[in-house]
Amino acid sequence: MLLQATHTTRYLYEEPVTQCISEARVTPRAFPGQRVATSRIEIHPEPAVMVERTDYFGNHVHSFSLFRSHDRFTTTATSVVEVEKREPAEPSKLPWEQARDRISAHADESVLPAFEFVFESPFVVLSPELAAYGRTVFEPGRPLAEAVEALSHRIHEDFTYLPKSTSIDMPLLEVFHNRCGVCQDFSHIMIAVLRSLRLPARYVSGYLRSGKNFQGADASHAWVSAFVPGTGEGGEWLSFDPTNDMIPSDGHVTLGWGRDYGDVTPVKGIALGGGHQTVEVEVYVRPVSAEQA
């Protein structure tokens, strides 16, 4: 399926900003199952400097600087992406305890890159309380893939999706106790539970197809990938969307991934001046034909 994603971010300032330096991670990734046909980013006012690079996790980054006075600036990213429908794979029957021990022991080269996603990160804390919550579905001997899907379902059932109920700097355990939040919170909670059990999990940033009654489809979205070792060598990252209680498929467009939201923030930066600021975000994802693309 071909999907066109339009992502607009506006910063409005109460006083002029003399200069700002920003980064944008709004270009979709290419990988098996997702092909990027076209992608462009427009910035107003036009930046004095813009550089493209790839970050540590392989995500595409635009870094740009404005050195003239302005009271607003807008970034608009437009991409056309071909996303394949993902059929559920035959799940690994490897028990989660064996998977955890293989990863911790670096049993083969395939698990070593996943090991860096076992630790705390700026927005993900580990705690015995989170591990105890996870053990309600991570029963002894249960296959890892099955247990992770059950955890995603439980978070969806236990937590209420409530826009503007949290902020990104709210402590994770406070969000956990409040039992409500947005997609970033659902994903951070799930990642924290998995890592508290010493299982690798990463944060995925992206979009949802509009008009499909998805939670979180009107802005940037987030979900979780968990690493599942194979019964022999190798393994794979399996994705789960706890906000919508589903396996991401051709309604999800992936921008990038990292340890948590801080690694894949769509647009962030610093500004000199400006006073109070207002941020407006609009995301729209729709199917298009090859001719329209």
Q: What is the pLDDT of residue 221?
A: 94
- Please indicate, yes or no, whether residues 112 and 235 belong to a single structural domain of this protein: yes
Q: What is the spatial distance between Cα 36 and Cα 42, in angstroms, rounded to a whole number?
A: 17
9: region left, alpha or beta (phi > 0 left; psi from -120 to 50 alpha): beta
Provide mean pLDDT across the span 191-196.
98
Provide mean pLDDT across the span 263-269.
96
When pLDDT is cut at 50, 70 and 90, the band that residue 232 belongs to is low
Q: What is the pLDDT of residue 184?
A: 96
164 or 188: whose pLDDT is higher?
A: 188
When pLDDT is cut at 50, 70 and 90, the band that residue 210 belongs to is confident
Q: What is the pLDDT of residue 108?
A: 81
- Please indicate, yes or no, whether residues 56 and 120 belong to a single structural domain of this protein: no
When pLDDT is cut at 50, 70 and 90, the band that residue 212 belongs to is confident
157 phi/psi in degrees, rounded to 5: -75, -35
Provide mean pLDDT across the span 6-28.
95
261 or 293: whose pLDDT is higher?
A: 261
Cβ proximity of 50 and 62 under 8 Å:
yes
Cβ proximity of 124 and 184 under 8 Å:
no
- Please indicate, yes or no, whether residues 241 and 188 belong to a single structural domain of this protein: yes
- Please indicate, yes or no, whether residues 243 and 104 belong to a single structural domain of this protein: yes
- Please indicate, yes or no, whether residues 74 and 133 belong to a single structural domain of this protein: no
63 pLDDT above the threshold of 90:
yes
Q: What is the pLDDT of residue 87?
A: 74
- Please indicate, yes or no, whether residues 49 and 132 belong to a single structural domain of this protein: no
What are the pLDDT digits (tens) for 25-43? 999 999 999 999 999 999 9
- Please indicate, yes or no, whether residues 207 and 69 belong to a single structural domain of this protein: no
- Please indicate, yes or no, whether residues 156 and 280 belong to a single structural domain of this protein: no
- Please indicate, yes or no, whether residues 242 and 273 belong to a single structural domain of this protein: no
Provide mean pLDDT across the span 152-175.
94
- Domain range for 76: 2-84+264-287
Q: What is the pLDDT of residue 271?
A: 92
- Please indicate, yes or no, whether residues 148 and 235 belong to a single structural domain of this protein: yes
Instruction: Count Cβ atoms within 10 A of the Cβ of residue 180 and give its class: 0-12 exposed, 13-18 middle, 19 or more buried.
Output: middle
CATH number at 202 reads 3.10.620.30
E strand or H helix at 213: none
CATH number at 79 reads 2.60.40.2250
Provide mean pLDDT across the span 95-124.
92
258 pLDDT above the threshold of 70:
yes
68 pLDDT above the threshold of 70:
yes
Please identify which residue in the block is written with the tokens 């404005």.
66
- Please indicate, yes or no, whether residues 29 and 123 belong to a single structural domain of this protein: no
- Please indicate, yes or no, whether residues 13 and 42 belong to a single structural domain of this protein: yes
Q: What is the pLDDT of residue 89?
A: 63
Provide mean pLDDT across the span 48-62.
97
Q: How many domains does the chain have?
A: 2
127 pLDDT above the threshold of 90:
yes
